[in-house]
Amino acid sequence: MTLDPQARWILDVIEESGKPALNEVSAVEARKMYLEAMATLNPEKPDVYRIEDRTIPGPARHIAIRIYTPKPTDDEALPVLVFYHGGGYTIGDLDSHDTPLRALANESGCLIVSIDYRMGPEHRFPAAVDDCYAATCWVFENAATLGCDAARLAVGGDSAGGNLAAVVTQIAKRENGPKIAFQMLIYPATDMSASSESHKRLSQGYRLTGDLIKWFTDNYISPEDYGDVRASPGLEKDLRGLPPALIITAGYDPLVDEGQEYARRLNEAGVPATFICYQGMIHGFFGWWGVFEAAKQAISQAAATLRVALRKK
């Protein structure tokens, strides 16, 4: 396995910048740095038919959302993807993931609702889970008003957002909540203990370091809660009856083993799960649509999968 030249390039840029690691500054400063980096890596934004920012009721406060509506088709109602951004439950927002979601909306034909959930260290576990599940319920209940089809609802996210998407599907199943048709998990975290072999093998040198993972985790959750399946969905014993999944990972990502194992267990439980690993890539690549060919390819693959999974029956 060889590191992709574009991945090598971004690692060199980070090293040569002389900037501190995210875990070496405050959460507020880290959010600013992350947003600036994402803007640099996505210099141009694809046009989308309509984008709307609004707020919806949440369990503790109103939740900001951004709705991406692709060009209308002959369908009376569009399929919908509820998306939870990545960022270690600490950084990221509606703007950090704006460009890849524009591209995904255009290519998938899905209406996408991006969720700005509460994050640590200000709001710790399970605040993010509560917000994401409440927002998903709201989309499901208000589908007709939004112009989408509640019977063709998917959830998805990258990294921490992939974790939250997996968690939301499990809660919906346990609580007989929204009927989720599909889950799109991009390099998801599934076990807060970070004990897989890839965490040990790839803990240094590939952007998402062991120290950064620990900082993110400590901001979000206490060790005594690692075993809660709302934090570590990979620990759920019964995965039967969950929606089909697409799991995309990267070969040089400490989370790769978690994603692969979760896909294996879903399939073992009778849940169709497609596992795709971009062998030469590093964590975060899915969001770098503006400069990474692998990001464009992964978004196109995800879009094509969503089109098939959410087609009218």
Q: pLDDT tens digits for 80-94?
A: 999 999 999 999 999
Per-residue pLDDT at 169 exceeds 90: yes
| % of the chain residues with pLDDT over 70 | 99
pLDDT, position 106: 97
pLDDT level of residue 75 (50, 70, 90 thresholds): low
- CA–CA–CA angle 256, 153, 86 (5° rounding): 35
pLDDT level of residue 180 (50, 70, 90 thresholds): very high
- Cα distance between the two ends of the chain: 40
- DSSP for 257-310, please give it: HHHHHHHHHHHHTT--EEEEEEEEEETTGGG-TTT-HHHHHHHHHHHHHHHHHT
Mean residue pLDDT across the chain: 97
Q: How far apart are CA 56 and CA 185, in angstroms?
A: 24
Q: What is the model's pTM?
A: 0.97
pLDDT level of residue 312 (50, 70, 90 thresholds): confident
> What is the dihedral sign for C-alpha 221, 222, 227, 230?
negative
- CA–CA–CA angle 96, 107, 52 (5° rounding): 50
Average pLDDT over residues 225-249: 98
Active site residues: 159, 253, 283
Average pLDDT over residues 135-145: 97
Average pLDDT over residues 234-259: 98
Hey, what domains does the chain have and what are their CATH numbers?
5-309 (3.40.50.1820)
- Each residue's pLDDT tens digit, 189-220: 999 999 999 999 999 999 999 999 999 999 99
pLDDT level of residue 62 (50, 70, 90 thresholds): very high
Strand partners, 158: 186
Average pLDDT over residues 91-106: 98
pLDDT level of residue 52 (50, 70, 90 thresholds): very high
| % of the chain residues with pLDDT over 90 | 97
